Structure 1
Amino acid sequence: MKEERFTRLTQGINLSHWFAQAPLTHKNFQTRVTAQDIQRIKKMGFRHVRLPIDPNVLFNEKQPEKLNQENLEYLDRALDTILAEKLGVIVDLHPQARFKQRLYRDVNFVNNVAKFWKSLAQHLSTRDPELVFLEVLNEPDVKDPKVWYKIQPQLLAAMRSGAPFHTLIASSNLRVGRNWDNIAALQLLSPVKDPNVVYNFHFYTPRPFVSQGATWGWNMLRYFHNVPYPSNPKLVAAILPQIKNETARKRLREYGKQRWNAQKLEELISSAAAWAKEHQVRLTCNEFGVYRRVAPPDDRNTWIRDVRSLLEKYNIGWSMWDYNHGFGVMKRVNGQSVPDLGTLQALFA
């Protein structure tokens, strides 16, 4: 892949809750993200967007080769709007958990998804391959990564059959065994024999900081508020009186002792870069971010700056999660969504 095309996969932002993670209605497709939003994203300095798409928008299991034409029109309009601003776009297959679990245990379902991806790739193949990228699956999540790594080559081959010249994005499993460690899972992946594939991981580490206040996932997160970054025992001790759950306090003490900082983050990100160098492949991190609700704003921006700087140091592409939702580069001020200048500075300064 030429350097110019890979450069397009740097400095990106995710367009969440548009064609995935939200009601899959024509109204949402039309109104969630507007042409003005895309123009604003361009002016902010982003080079590409990542567009999550729930397969249910287009996929009919009984006729996997036939895309839902009515919804496809809305997707095409969205792509037209994005490409009109000369932004790159990652078309990301972003299913719910049930879809992924079927994929891991049902060979016939894998075959149908491969047929679907071939048709979708064929449809997208008329778009400029310098601007449009195809991502096989968001966050594969199976206890044994080898299960996903046996499935992925079949889906990539189907995508390549439909779009011979477009760059494909392969996904590392989200965890290894019971441990949520996307980078460790990446290191178990053997690249396919296709030089036009980029490999992807997500980065939400350390969880007590980046996901504090979340009401999903690990149940301790809802108790975490005002968790600092960088961490040390003294800084964490200052917030412990606010934490009402003893197990949560114990976990936060551990977080303080671990002394999370840029150097500790670099140990992880550099190990991903070492894997890419060993296999002579390109690497991207198309999700990273900090949940806004209760995170200290300055600390949030410090973490974003540290991660973004490290990704760039190791020549890893990036897309922050997300544009205008819980992790957003936008924030609410007097009922209006406005750019968070501190977050933009963390991303671009």
Structure 2
Amino acid sequence: MNRREWIAGAVALAGCGAAESDAPTAQFPIRRGVNLGNALEAPNEGDWGYRIERAHLAAIAEAGFDGVRLPVRWDAHAEAEAPFAIDPRFFRRVDAVIDQALEQGLKVQLDLHHFDALIADAEGQRRRFIALWRQIARRYNQHPDALVFEPLNEPNGDRWRGEALALLQRDALAAIRESNPTRLVVFGPGNWQNIEALRNWSPPEGANVAVSAHYYEPHAFTHQDAEWLGDSAPRYDRAWGSDAEKRQIAEHIARAARWGASRGHAMQLGEFGVNMAVPLEQRAAWTRTVRAACEANEMGWCAWDFAGAFPIWDRERGRFIPDMLDALFG
């Protein structure tokens, strides 16, 4: 299964899962964010055609975003055997991006991305995963609260359901808390962090824990003709944007927001977007609908992505794509 395969259909979140809470729900700190995808999540930065530049972070802040999500493929730059040390040169590169973003007044959501070995070998890679987070957490324990941690992007597959995922997330939080007792830590459900999977999942218990889900529905629309899916890329042989399609998005987001509010969790839609093969007018219309639903339900949002396969930035012209920026802020 591809990392962005999603279960289509209606979401049934309300009234399911953990007990409701009377605690007030804090807002997710990043209200208007963008993912810096395809850069440090590649095997090596630049392999997928994009490198993060200081000027990009300045442009993001100037446009009105208040944060960035930074996907990082940590395991590609760490030893395979204990103590699983992360390459100091790679650490310094991540340092630079974080510090440059913070200098622009942006919050940073630091994410562990594409740890495919962990997904495939749950027990064999568990110690390595925890060791990576102990190192990451220690390195940034003096950074301001504007830096938040997200231990694992899109857990998926039969190995990461139910109790197995709950235990992994609990242990990751414990490792982070050894050096960062109060930093915000963000978790998401299984099934690729699909918004639908919230109903069968709860984040680890404790203070300063928030929830992030992802949204690419309908998958056949957002991923139609996606180059990286090859012959398995879906088709969507009509224009998107009927009243029923817009209502479905509004209902999905509203149910997720109610799920979070009933449990006292700050909520974020941490990824949503449409790939560049889709006509720009359609991409913008879908993006506007999702963004507006998040804001109507007081959920933070973080678009996927800045300059990758779902871009809001035109790399050739060195500027935001006007239609996409308007969809996010108009």
Q: Would you say 1:10 and 2:28 are equivalent positions?
A: no
Unmatched segments (≥5 aa) in structure 2: 1-22
Please state whether the residue corresponding to 1:336 is helix, strand or coil. coil
Paired residue for 1:19? 40
CA distance in structure 1 between the aligned counterparts of 2:257 and 2:93, rounded to whole angstroms: 37
Indicate which of 243, 261, 269 corresponds to 2:253.
Answer: 269
Indicate which of 65, 75, 88 corresponds to 1:46.
Answer: 65
Paired residue for 1:331? 314
Indicate which of 64, 67, 89 corresponds to 1:70.
Answer: 89
Contact 2:28 2:299 in 1 (8 A): no
Unmatched segments (≥5 aa) in structure 1: 176-180, 232-258
Contact 1:169 1:199 in 2 (8 A): yes
Q: Which amino acid aligns with 1:212?
A: Q
Provide Cα deviations, 1:156-213, integer angstroms capped at 9, x if missing partner.
Answer: 21112221121000121125xxxxx812211111232212011111000001211111
CA distance in structure 1 between the aligned counterparts of 2:55 and 2:144, rounded to whole angstroms: 22
CA distance in structure 2 between the aligned counterparts of 1:184 and 1:37, rounded to whole angstroms: 33
Displacement of 1:8 after TM fit? Answer: 3.3
Q: Would you say 1:167 and 2:184 are equivalent positions?
A: yes
Provide Cα deviations, 1:205-247, integer angstroms capped at 9, x if missing partner.
Answer: 001211111134595535557x41114xxxxxxxxxxxxxxxx
CA distance in structure 2 between the aligned counterparts of 1:123 and 1:308, rounded to whole angstroms: 34
Indicate which of 113, 119, 133 corresponds to 2:148.
Answer: 133
1:83-122 matches, within 5 Å, as 83-102=102-121, 104=122, 106=123, 108-122=124-138
Contact 2:118 2:126 in 1 (8 A): no
Higher relative contact order (CA 8 A, sep 6+): 2
Q: Would you say 1:34 and 2:56 are equivalent positions?
A: no
TM-score, scaled relative to structure 2 = 0.84
Provide Cα deviations, 1:127-150, integer angstroms capped at 9, x if missing partner.
Answer: 101x10100101111136213223
CA distance in structure 2 between the aligned counterparts of 1:275 and 1:219, rounded to whole angstroms: 37
Paired residue for 1:239? none
Indicate which of 191, 194, 217 corresponds to 1:182.
Answer: 194
Q: Would you say 1:318 and 2:329 are equivalent positions?
A: no
Q: Which amino acid aligns with 2:93?
A: Y
CA distance in structure 2 between the aligned counterparts of 1:2 and 1:123, rounded to whole angstroms: 32
| Distance of aligned partners of 1:59 and 1:6 in 2 relative to their CA distance in 1, 3 Å threshold | farther
Paired residue for 1:234? none
1:275-314 matches, within 5 Å, as 275-293=259-277, 295-314=278-297
Deviates more, 1:60-69 or 1:310-319: 60-69
Equivalences, count: 305
CA distance in structure 2 between the aligned counterparts of 1:2 and 1:49, rounded to whole angstroms: 26
Contact 1:229 1:300 in 2 (8 A): no
Provide Cα deviations, 1:34-65, integer angstroms capped at 9, x if missing partner.
Answer: 11111111111110011111022543232346
TM-score, scaled relative to structure 1 = 0.80
